Structure 1
Amino acid sequence: MIINNGNKLTLSPVIALLTEIYPEHESSLFGSITAFCEEIAQYCQRHGFFFYVCSLKSLLAPDIQGYIKVHDHWSLADVPYPDVVHNRLHSRKVEKSPLFQQAVEMMKSRGTPYFNAHFLDKWSVFTLLSNFDHLQPYLPETYQLRKKEDLIDALSAHSGVFLKPVHGSQGKHIFRIQQDERLYRVDYTTFSQPFEKEYPTFQSLFEALYTQLQKQGFLIQKALPLQTYKGCPFDFRILCHRVKETNWKVTSAVARVSQQGNFVSNLARGGEIAHVYGLLQEIYAPLTSRQITKLLKELALDICHCITVSTDGLFAELGIDLAIDTDGHPWIIEVNTKPSKQHDSITDKKIRPSAKAIVHYCAHLSGHSTEEV
């Protein structure tokens, strides 16, 4: 797109962010990423880039309409076809739809790069990372739940396990099952159906869970003796972004501490964020805290590289969830291809580092260079 930059006409990359749009909610037009879109828009304006937000149907329309930031509000306008597309669709169902596949084919035919290419489910990530020998010591024992005997075997081998939805997110629909003598103790998150806390037999436990387990695929993961902070479990979200062709960098890192009595630390489930090194210093000596912090970041970057070389499609932003056990050993909990944009860093800056990183990578894909500002 040609824009007037003072007295000189220059080519400006056209950057589109693809997501769900809610016109009836002006203050949260783009749902949970509304503030993030505003930061990207502001940063693009600073660099003279043309940025808009559009829906999947709009991207496929002969005449695209997108939301552009005009002063302090979003305005729907006719916009040019983008030079690069950042995929922030939140629905796995939509990504599997013929409409999305049509958009993918159109982008490919026009030579338009897009990222992040698609969701990666938990089992796919586990099997992918398991292929790298050096990552195996950081992966909790994990199995697919295909039949009742899979859960019987897991509980025979481990005193506690987690049942996690293969396509789950935000700490939803997770069961924690622990064996205590002849009882099975159950904790769980965000189910409309109430479950008992204790079951006297495996059969009574399985019958109670059966309906929920049939609704979606689950995997079984060994419960680890994770480190706690003031009696609460915690983990780490390491946010990484791709730099040009193959390199990745850590953009931000936060610790997420669960609510008292909760076993998941997701912010959507009431968790709180803290500085990684600051929290570790409450538990370990300064030198150990620095070593663990460094190891977590190195492990996150290694995971990004392994995913880059092992998956189809382009990925440029990954949220790596890690935890440490009571011995300080790191464990890989989850990899998010569309990481949450709510509290993804602890900063008082008006534009967070992750928004800047997205703009710089978009500029790179479209053949433009930017300086970190």
Structure 2
Amino acid sequence: MQRSGVMWAKIEVVPSDREIIYLPESLSTEADSSRSIEVKFGGKTATAKILYTDDLKLEKGSFENPGKIRLSNKLKDKLLIPESLVYRIVITDTRISIGPVIGLLLGVHTHRYNPRHMKKYSDRLGIYNKVGGLIYAFSPKSVNWNRNSAYGLYYNIATASWEYGCFPLPDVIYRRDFHSSPKHIDKLMDFTGGRLFNSYRFSKYQMYEAVKENNELSKYLPPTDLSLNFEQVKKFIDSHSKVILKPIDLSRGRGICIIEKIDDAYKVTDYRYKNPVVSVLHDNESLREFFANNPNLFNRYLIQKYLSLARIGNSLFDIRVVMQKRPDHTWGCTGIECRVSNSNSHLTNISRGGYALTLEEALYRAFAEDCEFLSQEINEFCQKFCSYMDKMGEHFAEFGMDIAVDTEKNIWLIEANVFPSFKGFKIMDRQTYLSIRYTPLLYALSLTEFGDGL
């Protein structure tokens, strides 16, 4: 047999105590008669006897019009292959590959691996007819390394539901949680040949330190330091007048505290509580006492100059840019939203009562001019940032970049998150939201041998 293109097929299982794959008679040659071949499905392989029959069809086809092959139940069980799905098939002289097998790594918490929780991922499968194969969620804790398999939940296109099963380790893994141990991630990276993407999550300060090394990008960083002790923090506050303290490993505005120096006094707006607490400290000793009573502000916190952000009316806004790897392995912007605070808040997070606008509308309402220039500068900066991050030795394919524009129309990088949320897009523009959700699966497919023609 010569190498085929990518073909679509459904699988029919027939009883046999031997490992057999049945292919269409049209694929046979004299040299193929009664020979065996390796059959691969994700991390599982088996040597199977080929039998040809004239009642099967396997052509390029499509998801909507797939061909058909047969597997013996012994081969099906060895490969751990669900029979209800529509697969892509690639045939060479030495191997038949069935797939793709794409894993969703959602962390180690077992409560995330049930059909009810997995419903939130179902909208990603609106692109299943462009991907096909087995898409399943699994925890590193569920991996059986002796068998190259994992327990998890797969999306059954026939029933549009998530169902439990045991599956081969994936061809490629989309990481959407960062509580797994580095040892587990390294092992999965090795197994997939580096095809686990979003392989590392920088803390806010690690990201700052990495970008600071690049002369072209560092000018977009506001002055930032780790919060270590009172004397150092007070010096930073006195130097910049208004600062923001934020945890290096939390998001969505959690744990933030803003301190502003006003003459000899200090105004503190503390967002660590459900409702922000505002207090005025009248002198240096009161400030020292505040930090003595809140020693956690020196524990994994950074301190940053508070930027004089542009406003829409009385409300602050910042910009969330979603950058994703496309099937051609280049970076592209798949969505931009501006998050506007409610008028009483320093925080723009939707979860804190903010709302979303398009970039064009927000820039026009804030500045009424220079909108096109600012939009272009933001896009160019994000492209340069992603290209630079590709040199970090990790496999990145998705960033949620938080960009600020100050009153002088300067652009600043607030943070870049490899685990972004997309709530604003879901409210503002559902088609953009769905495109963002689909892109990682199309990229995952492109990393496999089944991505030909994308």
Q: Does 1:251 align with 2:338?
A: no
Corresponding residue of 2:162: 74
Give the TM-score taking structure 1 as reference length: 0.87
Assess, with a 3 A threshold, how the Cα gap between structure 1 residues 213 and 298 changes in structure 2: closer, same or farther.
farther
Distance 2:192 2:161 in 1: 31
User: Quick one: which of 39, 50, 56 aligns to 2:134?
Assistant: 50
Shift, 1:26, TM fit: 5.1
Matched residues in 2 for 1:239 and 1:307: separation?
A: 15
Deviations 1:327-354 (A, max 9, x none): 1111111110111133346423397111
**Judging changes above 3 Å, is the alpha-carbon distance between structure 1 residues 240 and 23 closer, same or farther for their aligned structure 2 residues?**
closer
Describe the shift of the 1:167–1:103 C-alpha distance in structure 2 as closer, same or farther (beyond 3 A): closer
Highest Rg: 1 or 2? 2
| 3-state secondary structure, aligned to 2:104 | strand
Taking the aligned partners of 1:221 and 1:105, their CA distance within structure 2 comes to 36
Give the superposition deviation at 1:259: 1.8
Summarize the Cα distance change of 1:66–1:3 in structure 2 as closer, same or farther, 3 Å threshold. Answer: farther
**One-letter code aligned to 1:115:** F
Deviations along 1:255-291, whole A, 9 cap, x unmatched? 00112211111122222111110121123335x1111
Instruction: Determine the structure 1 residue equivalent to 2:67.
Output: 7
Letter in 2 for 1:229: I
Q: 1:267 to 1:213 in 2, by over 3 A?
A: farther
d(CA) in 1 for partners of 2:452, 2:354: 36
What letter corresponds to residue 435 of structure 2 in structure 1?
A: P
Query: Compared with structure 1, are the counterparts of its residues 212 and 357 closer, same or farther at alpha carbon in structure 2 (3 Å cutoff)?
Result: farther
**AA in 2 matched with 1:16:** G
Give the number of the structure whose residues are more often helix, by fraction.
Answer: 1
2:104 corresponding residue in structure 1? 17
Comparing 345-354 with 41-50, greater Cα deviation is found at: 345-354
Correspondence 1:83 to 2:167: no
Cα deviation code 1:191-245 (max 9, x no counterpart): 3798551111233223323454437311111111110112111100000012357
Q: Which residue of 1 aligns with 2:270?
A: 188
Once the two structures are TM-superposed, the CA of residue 363 in structure 1 deviates from its matched residue by 1.2
Shift of 1:76: 1.1
Runs of 4+ residues deviating >6 angstroms = none
Normalized per residue, the structure richer in strand is: 2
Aligned residue runs from structure 1 range 163-202, under 5 A: 163-191=245-273, 197-202=279-284
Match of 1:319, SS?
A: strand
CA contact under 8 A between 1:39 and 1:351: conserved in structure 2? Answer: no
Contact 2:105–2:176 at 8 Å: present in 1 too?
yes
1:261 corresponds to: 344
* 2:145 is equivalent to residue 64 of structure 1: no
CA change 1:271–1:251 in 2 (3 A) is same
Say whether 1:140 aligns with 2:232: no
Shift of 1:85: 0.6
Contact between 1:16 and 1:84, CA under 8 Å: does it hold in 2? yes
Q: Aligned partner of 2:102: which letter?
A: I
Q: Give the aligned residue type for 2:153.
A: Y
- Give the C-alpha shift of residue 18 in structure 1: 0.6
Give, as a single letter, the amino acid of the residue that structure 1 aligns with 2:123: E
Partner of 1:336: 417
User: Do the aligned partners of residues 121 and 151 (structure 1) sit closer, same or farther apart at CA in structure 2, a change above 3 Å counting?
Assistant: same
Instruction: Measure the CA separation in 1 of the matches of 2:137 and 2:416.
Output: 25
User: Judging changes above 3 Å, is the alpha-carbon distance between structure 1 residues 211 and 68 closer, same or farther for their aligned structure 2 residues?
Assistant: farther
- The structure, 1 or 2, with the larger RCO (C-alpha pairs under 8 Å, 6+ apart) is 1
- 1:360–1:370 contact (8 Å) kept in structure 2: no
Instruction: Quote how far apart the aligned CAs of 1:112 are.
Output: 5.5
The whole-number CA distance in structure 1 between the counterparts of 2:276 and 2:314 is 26
Relative to structure 1, the CA distance from residue 182 to residue 277 in structure 2 (aligned partners, 3 Å threshold; closer, same or farther) is: same
Letter in 2 for 1:361: Y
User: Structure 1: which amino acid aligns with 2:162?
Assistant: W
Aligned length in residues: 359
| Alpha carbons 2:238, 2:261 under 8 Å: kept | no
Q: Deviations over 1:136-168 (max 9, x none)?
A: 221111112112121121122111011111112
The answer on whether the counterparts of 1:82 and 1:112 sit within 8 Å (CA) in structure 2 is no
| Corresponding residue number in structure 2 for 1:358 | 440
Between the aligned partners of 1:264 and 1:47, the Cα distance in structure 2 is 39
Which secondary structure does the structure 2 equivalent of 1:335 belong to?
strand
* Structure 1 residues 131 and 112: alpha-carbon distance in aligned structure 2, compared to 1, 3 A threshold: closer
1:220 aligns with 2:303: yes
AA aligned opposite 1:68 = Y
CA deviation vs aligned residue, 1:347-371 (integer Å, no higher than 9, x gap): 2339711122101210122233267
Runs (5+) with no aligned partner, structure 2:
1-6, 11-62, 70-88, 90-97
1:264-303 equivalences under 5 Å are: 264-285=347-368, 288-303=370-385
- Pairing 1:38–2:125 present: no
Contact 1:164 1:174 in 2 (8 A): yes
Q: Distance in 1 between matches of 2:276 and 2:429?
A: 39
Q: 1:101 to 1:245 in 2, by over 3 A?
A: farther
Deviation for aligned residue 1:181: 1.5
For 1:319, give the aligned amino acid. Answer: G
Structure 1 residues 263, 197: closer, same or farther in 2, change over 3 A?
same
Query: What letter corresponds to residue 260 of structure 1 in structure 2?
Result: S
> What is the one-letter code of the residue matched to 1:266?
N
The structural deviation recorded for 1:25 is 7.2
Contact 2:281 2:287 in 1 (8 A): yes
